Structure 1
Amino acid sequence: MPDPDAPFPGRSPAPPTPWRATLLVPLLAGAAVAVATGVYGRLHTPTGIAVNVAGFSGPQTVKVWLGTGAAVFAVLQLLSALAMWGRLGGFSPSWAGTAHRWSGRLAFLLAIPVAVHCLYALGFGAYDLRSLAHSALGCFFFGAFTTKMVALPKANLPGWALPVLGGLVFTALIGVWLTSSVWYFTTFGVHL
């Protein structure tokens, strides 16, 4: 049986795609998501309420606690990534890859209702420097996340690409958390 990946007779194999070209589609997809999120948040008329869960004092507390959960899972994802790459002093358990994938999934799942609340109920905030930074970081987070997820299955990425993309996703999420949940806790106190 012929090799399905072999070139047609008389044709040479295609040259490997340079990594810059490989990253172009993920970067464009991420930029489109970041811009679309920001434009929607800016043009949409905020409703004031989007996500509320019984047991919390209001939608804002739901948002800050879900955001805090996402930040905790993001830290776990960072630690598991460092373990996978042998950057924790030789500590590299066999379950680090599974922990990395699941902590990332859970962080993202917790971030979705927060983003829905922010975009639908509040819009893109530019009231002060904190709200502007929060809104911009939120759009950047979803764009960087999209870039990383689209780039993940690409075959010829340079070795630095996924750690850099993952670092950008982590940094953006922690920035979003600092400008929302931490700000809320230090301004209004820690309560449900």
Structure 2
Amino acid sequence: MSTHDFGPTGPEPDADVTQRVPGANAGPPTGWDTGAWDFEAEPEEQRTGMRGVLVALAIGSLVAVAIGVYGGLHEGTGQAFNLAGFSSGLHAKAWLASIVVVLVIVQLLSALAMWGRLPGARGGGRVSAILHRWSGRVAVLVSLPVAAHCLYALGFQAFDTRVLLHSLLGCFFYGIFVCKMLVLSREDKPGWVLPVVGGVVFTALVGLWVTSSLWFFTEFGVSL
């Protein structure tokens, strides 16, 4: 036994290299364990976890392709819904998409706070987890009318670069979102996977907003 195994008064307790920063809660909230972003794992665990990640990516890809195929085959009606207080479905779509972006920013900040990686926000793991969970649920609900309008009223369009990019991002967003939900439920996922997939979801959503709502507000003004 090496002398490094002992401290000044005896054996030291095993160090937890995945422990979060000091001041954060002792453990992650139930259901939101990302493996503490642990980049060190046994080879067999890595292989098993990555197989699950690849399956999730495959399912997400099928979802993205299915949405794209439906959007391409479906002839847009020009109008899918009207919400009280908005002058048109396009105005409602632009504002609802903006609300989704705000909620996803809340998700990003609460995730960073939950793991003690947001400067100035420590020790609020449980509160951050609840905020993270509910902001995500509300964001999904708010996004559904937007997706319905895009698919049913407009379909997959490609008459200019912006519209083509928006259509591709829309398909990709829901595909990678499904992938994230599947990865989230796996306990054997590598620690880096969920932060990466979550970052991709956030980036895709921001791209959707820039190519739709931001463009709409720039062209037609910020109005209801």
Query: Fold match, TM over 0.5?
Result: yes
Taking the aligned partners of 2:147 and 2:168, their CA distance within structure 1 comes to 12
User: C-alpha root-mean-square deviation of aligned residues, in Å?
Assistant: 1.2
Match of residue 188 from structure 1: 220
Residue in 2 aligned with 1:84?
114
CA contact (8 A) 2:80 2:149 kept: yes
> What corresponds to 2:161 in structure 1?
129
The Cα shift of 1:84 comes to 1.1
Counterpart of 2:48 in structure 1 is 18
* 1:166 alignment counterpart: 198
Unaligned runs of 5+ in 2: 1-43
| DSSP-derived class of the 2:52 partner | helix
The one-letter code matched in structure 2 to 1:138 is: G
C-alpha distance in 1 between matches for 2:120 and 2:217: 36
Match of 2:145 in 1: 113
Tell me the number of residue pairs that the alignment of Structure 1 and Structure 2 aligns.
178
Task: Please give the TM-score of this superposition, normalised by the length of structure 2.
Answer: 0.77
The answer to which of 158-167 and 91-100 deviates more is 91-100
- In structure 1, what is the equivalent of residue 187 of structure 2? 155
Which of 132, 136, 155 in structure 2 is aligned with 1:100?
A: 132
Q: Residues 26-67 of structure 1: CA distance to partner in whole angstroms, max 9, x if unpaired?
A: 111100110001111111111111021121110100100110
SS of the equivalent of 2:121 reads: coil
Alpha-carbon separation, structure 1, partners of 2:104 and 2:187: 25
C-alpha displacement of 1:90: 4.9
Amino acid paired to 2:106: L
**Which residue does the alignment assign to 2:66?**
36
Q: 1:59 aligns with which of 56, 79, 89?
A: 89
Task: Give 1:38's aligned amino acid.
Answer: G
For the Cα contact (< 8 Å) 2:111–2:132, is it kept in 1? yes
| Contact 2:97–2:143 (CA under 8 A) maintained in structure 1 | yes
Deviations 1:77-124 (A, max 9, x none): 011011112111251313000111111111111111101000100011
Distance in 1, matches of 2:137 and 2:205, equals 13
Measure the CA separation in 1 of the matches of 2:81 and 2:105: 25
1:48 matched to 2:108? The reply is: no
When the two structures are superposed, what TM-score results if normalisation uses the length of structure 1?
Answer: 0.89
Q: CA deviation at 1:24?
A: 2.1
Residues 117-169 of structure 1 deviation map (CA, whole Å, 9 limit, x = unaligned): 00100011101111111111111110010000011111111111000111111
Gaps of 5+ in 1: 1-14
